[in-house]
């Protein structure tokens, strides 16, 4: 056997070296007790006091059942101590350094080992490594983590800050409708755990992430950040790696070998170097290495743009026969937030695919663009906002549910999700899945809807948090942008919390936190991405104005958040024309089956029940939902009555879905429009919000049980990469646009229409209503504008007043007769005003299957067209291939796919559970497919 080359031998050494000792302290060996010892129960780590008390039976029912959010509040007012006895082998004590590592502690606590204080923790977003060498002993060891009640500590810090600095940090408290707690902004804790307008207050305590004992002689590799360089001449591509290591407090400089292996499709690329670690006072050190000379790997693309190629990278440090390593999956891609001046030059028009016909000049100041460019390609961001999966952080990382939510987003053409700033920096799994699925992440830092302290102690807490989180997340291909906070700039400038009387002080604090402390840290650690001080903000224009803009909502710059609960959301003319819409939405109810899991008896399932009133934290939420639904849908005058509750649920969901569709398509049509005001060129639409965390009316498209609302189904249509987009304006004109997110044009495309009447099944087929045109690449283009009444009258299949008709639209590639995108329904008038729109007799003709993929086939038949046909499967978990659709023909087929990991129904079981709901002009009708209620039943309105 021949000897390997010296360089190869060097690379093999890390694999042969011993590793640091890592002893997991996770599991069910812990106990937790309250301050006076009256409650003491077994505990599990990772976990939290609420989940431990529930597991022990101290809390007798589900956290989100009834009024438990308030009845269980006593838990948050007590101080809880977590304790563990664990064994240590004497050999571990011979290591140079030992430390207890708390990867996540919620939130303020002291840590004791064998009666010696190791230190304090006060930031749930920080990993604490507490030196334990002097306290650790062979044999049995006793670890205790003594937590302080979060609401009590928040109040104490609020008062202490006010006394020390002469002013309070607002808000004074959350609105009464939230049924929450005050001063979350004084703790580095999930801000929503003190309640929000979509969630309850559960200000927990506990060890929400893993706890471990680490012992080593050399160093531990904790994080890596990476940066690719494209090929230069014949040198090939390269990868720069920066490793962050921990040596322990007081450690001396250390020499060792830093090595990196990048797994490429053509084989591994390797590099190693001798490095000298020079630890700082905390015992932290940095080392750099570059992997060079490899062929350019395949690029990673967002969902819908290409493949998501991920490359495993292993980085190790070896010294004195001891090795530590980490492995990450990284990607070869570039991403830019483009904020260029909007000009009138042909080059600018060509760059953004803006046609001459879509430009209306007249403004001297046109602002800046605001869009993401990935691998040199402009990307229209399509997606939603992500709130915590659970208000109890230890439950928020549930792998199955996180995967389900992200898959639901991916499958409806999402390419970006905004992680909102009032929750948590999500789990490693979340970002790994986003990498796999091609979902870009707009990453807020965890500050939301508040002013924040800016004294030295608070800024030091934030600095450590930002350093750790940016280092942890930087290597993920999915992370697209860092944003300093959620809505705090707008709150300051628009005086949400009475800051106007002391504006300069609060402005100074704001700038110190987000611009002077966070911004330089982020940009130093991650030069590959941009940072905006707030979301929304005016981007570079805000920076130019000293990081606080006089008009944070200027549509010519940055991103906007837009909500209007009075204007008709089905009217596209009511919406703003921004560069990027990062929040917008409407409330709706969750499914009735979801709400049933929160109530003790059916009498609570009514808008005016005490429980339902307490569940809607948005002030006047029910009245606003009713006001909006009544603009377009047949909402009964007695909508508050228990007999109308299920109809109210359905109507609010349909209104939310169509309003969000209307707003989203408005933004997509603006992609290639530049108006005289300078507005337009919109390149992002992220609706609020994707997910839910309890059974309540919220803005979510997927409720807390995982049930898709109509909005989630419609998102699969209005985010389609190619489609026709139509709207009817207040002058009764129909406007049709063609949308294309693909980077290639499509020649030979025609717009087709298929009209129908509400009082009969349609007989007319598809008709061409445009000349053949080329669908432009990566843009929006106007196809048709016409007065609705004469246009419909000119088409075969209507021959009646517009109030009696509907029309389906689609784009068709003529050469191969292939539709481009989904069929789109246009309703010339609101359903409640439609003529001939009587209750349809929709029946489930059959249910068959399951097929090889587990899906069941549901065959429907109807005697007349019906809008917003809504299928529900009772308690069965899963989703339909289409839903909330216009059933235009006499028959249709829909597939039901059971949720992975859930019980799957047989065909007979699904049929027995199925209900089908639809809208008529003056009625909501529901069909029960099986059981005693088989046949049509009216929720209200038309006679049986």
Task: Name the CA radius of gyration of the chain, rounded.
Answer: 29
Cβ neighbours of residue 548 under 8 Å, at least 6 residues apart? 489, 492, 493, 507, 510, 511, 542
Helix (H) or strand (E) segment spanning residue 69? helix 68-71
Rounded CA separation 490/536 (Å):
8
In terms of Cβ atoms closer than 10 Å to its own Cβ (0-12, 13-18, 19+), residue 288 is: exposed
Residue 130 near residue 100 (C-beta atoms within 8 A): yes
Residue 149 — left, alpha, or beta (φ > 0 → left; ψ -120 to 50 → alpha)?
Answer: beta
What does the DSSP assignment read for 531-548? EESSBS--THHHHHTTSS
Q: Catalytic annotation on 803?
A: no
Please, are residues 335 and 381 in contact by the beta-carbon 8 Å criterion? no
What is the phi/psi pair of residue 38, to 5°?
Answer: -75, -20
Using the 8-state DSSP alphabet, how is residue 748 labeled? E
Nearest Cα to Cα of residue 736 among 721, 752, 719: 752
CA distance 354 to 341: 15
Give dist(CA 194, CA 181) in Å, integer.
Answer: 5
CB 247, CB 284: distance < 8 Å? yes
Alpha helices in 512-609 (DSSP H): 519-525, 540-544, 592-596
Residue 790 makes CB contacts below 8 A (sequence gap 6+) with none
Cα–Cα distances in Å, from 341 out to 366, 462, 544, 546, 931?
7, 34, 14, 19, 64
**Strand pairing class (311-319; 254-264):** antiparallel
The two tokens of residue 382 are: 């399509």
3-state secondary structure of 226: strand
Query: Which residue in 322, 394, 467, 487 is the catalytic one?
Result: 487
- Give catalytic status of residue 487 as yes or no: yes
DSSP 743: S
Q: 104 CB contacts (<8 Å, ≥6 apart)? A: 46, 124, 125, 127, 207, 208, 209, 210, 393
Q: Which of 153, 583, 679, 877 is labelled catalytic?
A: 583
- Return all residues near 578 (Cβ < 8 A) that are at least 6 apart: 555, 559, 560, 562, 667, 679, 682
User: CA 849, CA 621: separation in Å to the nearest integer?
Assistant: 42
Q: 687 near 664, Cβ under 8 Å?
A: yes
Collapsing DSSP states into helix, strand and coil, what is residue 489? helix
Contact 435, 310 (CB under 8 A): yes
User: What are the CA-CA distances from residue 595 to residues 61, 124, 692, 862, 878 (Å)?
Assistant: 15, 31, 13, 30, 17
Helix ranges (H only) for 368-414 are: 399-410
Angle (CA) 145-149-152 rounded to 5° is 145
Neighbours of 411 (CB within 10 A): 14
Catalytic residues: 487, 583
């Amino acid at each position: 056997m021949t000897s390997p080359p010296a360089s190869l031998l060097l690379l093999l050494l890390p694999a042969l070296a011993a590793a640091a000792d890592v002893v997991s302290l996770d599991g069910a060996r812990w106990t937790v007790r309250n301050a006076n010892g009256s409650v003491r129960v077994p505990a599990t780590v990772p976990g939290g006091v609420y989940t431990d008390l529930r597991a022990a039976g101290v809390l007798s029912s589900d956290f989100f059942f009834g009024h438990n959010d308030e009845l269980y509040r006593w838990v948050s007012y007590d101080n809880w101590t977590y304790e563990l006895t664990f064994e240590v082998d004497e050999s571990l004590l011979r290591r140079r350094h030992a430390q207890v590592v708390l990867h996540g502690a919620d939130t303020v606590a002291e840590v004791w080992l064998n009666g010696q204080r190791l230190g304090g923790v006060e930031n749930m977003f920080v990993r604490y490594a507490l030196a334990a060498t002097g306290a650790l002993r062979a044999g049995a060891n006793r670890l205790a983590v003594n937590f302080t009640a979060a609401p009590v500590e928040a109040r104490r810090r609020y008062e202490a800050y006010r006394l020390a600095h002469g002013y309070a940090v607002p808000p004074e408290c959350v609105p009464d409708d939230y049924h929450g707690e005050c001063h979350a902004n004084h703790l580095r804790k999930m801000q929503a755990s003190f309640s929000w307008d979509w969630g309850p207050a559960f200000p927990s305590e506990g060890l929400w992430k893993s706890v471990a004992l680490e012992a080593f002689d050399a160093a531990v590799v904790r994080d890596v950040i990476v940066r690719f360089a494209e090929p230069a001449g014949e040198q090939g591509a390269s990868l720069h790696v920066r490793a962050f290591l921990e040596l322990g407090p007081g450690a001396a400089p250390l020499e060792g070998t830093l090595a990196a292996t990048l797994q490429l499709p053509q084989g591994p690329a390797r590099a190693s170097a001798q490095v000298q670690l020079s630890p700082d006072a905390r015992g932290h050190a940095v080392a750099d290495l570059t992997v060079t000379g490899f062929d350019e790997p395949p690029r990673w693309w967002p969902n819908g743009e290409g493949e998501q190629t991920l490359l495993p990278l292993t980085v190790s440090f070896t010294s004195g026969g001891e090795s530590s390593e980490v492995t990450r999956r990284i990607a070869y891609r570039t991403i830019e937030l483009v904020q260029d001046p909007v000009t009138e030059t042909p080059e600018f028009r060509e760059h953004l695919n803006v046609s001459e016909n879509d430009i209306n000049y007249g403004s001297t100041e046109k602002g800046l663009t605001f869009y993401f460019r990935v691998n040199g390609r402009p990307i229209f961001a399509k997606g939603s906002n992500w709130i915590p999966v659970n208000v109890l952080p230890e439950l928020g990382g549930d792998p199955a549910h996180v995967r389900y939510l992200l898959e639901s987003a991916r499958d409806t053409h999402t390419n970006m999700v905004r992680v909102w700033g009032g929750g948590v920096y999500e789990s490693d799994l979340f970002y790994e899945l986003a990498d796999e699925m091609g979902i870009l992440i707009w990453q807020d830092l965890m500050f939301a809807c508040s002013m924040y302290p800016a004294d030295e102690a608070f800024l030091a807490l934030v600095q450590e948090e930002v350093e750790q989180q940016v280092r942890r997340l930087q290597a993920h291909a999915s992370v697209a942008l860092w944003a300093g906070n959620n809505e705090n700039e707008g709150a300051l400038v628009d005086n949400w919390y009475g800051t106007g009387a002391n504006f300069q002080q609060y402005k100074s604090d704001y700038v110190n936190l987000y611009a002077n402390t966070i911004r330089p840290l982020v940009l130093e650690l991650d030069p590959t991405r941009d940072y905006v001080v707030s979301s929304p903000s005016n981007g570079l224009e805000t920076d130019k104005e000293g990081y606080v803009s006089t008009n944070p909502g200027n549509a010519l710059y940055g991103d906007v958040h837009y909500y209007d609960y009075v204007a008709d959301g089905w009217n596209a003319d009511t919406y703003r024309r921004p560069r990027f819409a990062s929040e917008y939405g409407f409330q709706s109810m969750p499914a009735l089956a979801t709400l049933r899991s929160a109530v003790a008896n059916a009498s609570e399932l009514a808008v005016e029940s005490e429980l339902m009133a307490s569940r809607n934290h948005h002030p006047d939420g029910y009245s606003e939902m009713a006001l909006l639904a009544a603009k377009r849908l047949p909402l009964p005058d007695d909508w508050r009555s228990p007999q109308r509750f299920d109809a109210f649920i359905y109507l609010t969901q349909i209104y939310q879905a169509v309003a969000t569709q209307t707003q989203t398509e408005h933004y997509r049509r603006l992609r290639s429009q530049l108006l005289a005001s300078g507005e337009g060129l919109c390149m992002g639409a992220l609706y609020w919000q994707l997910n839910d965390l309890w059974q309540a009316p919220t803005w979510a498209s997927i409720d807390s049980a995982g049930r898709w609302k109509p909005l989630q189904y419609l998102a699969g249509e209005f985010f389609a990469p190619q489609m026709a987009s139509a709207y009817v304006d207040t002058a009764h004109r129909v406007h049709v646009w063609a949308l294309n997110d693909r980077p290639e044009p499509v020649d030979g495309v025609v717009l087709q229409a298929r009209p129908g009447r509400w009082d009969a099944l349609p007989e007319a087929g598809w008709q061409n209503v445009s000349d053949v045109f080329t669908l432009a690449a990566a843009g929006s283009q106007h196809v048709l504008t016409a007065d609705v009444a004469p246009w419909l009258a000119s088409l075969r299949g209507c021959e009646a007043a517009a109030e009696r008709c509907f029309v389906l639209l689609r784009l068709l590639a003529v050469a191969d007769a292939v539709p481009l995108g989904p069929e789109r329904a246009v309703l010339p008038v609101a359903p409640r005003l439609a003529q001939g729109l009587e209750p349809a007799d929709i029946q489930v003709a059959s249910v068959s299957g399951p097929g090889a993929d587990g899906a069941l086939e549901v065959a429907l038949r109807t005697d007349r067209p019906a809008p917003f046909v809504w299928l529900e499967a009772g308690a069965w978990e899963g989703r339909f291939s289409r839903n909330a659709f216009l059933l235009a023909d006499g028959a249709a087929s829909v597939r039901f796919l059971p949720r992975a990991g859930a019980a799957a129904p047989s065909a007979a079981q699904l049929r027995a559970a199925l209900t089908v709901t639809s809208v008529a002009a003056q009625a909501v009708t529901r069909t029960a497919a099986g059981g005693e209620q088989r046949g049509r039943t009216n929720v209200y309105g038309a006679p049986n």
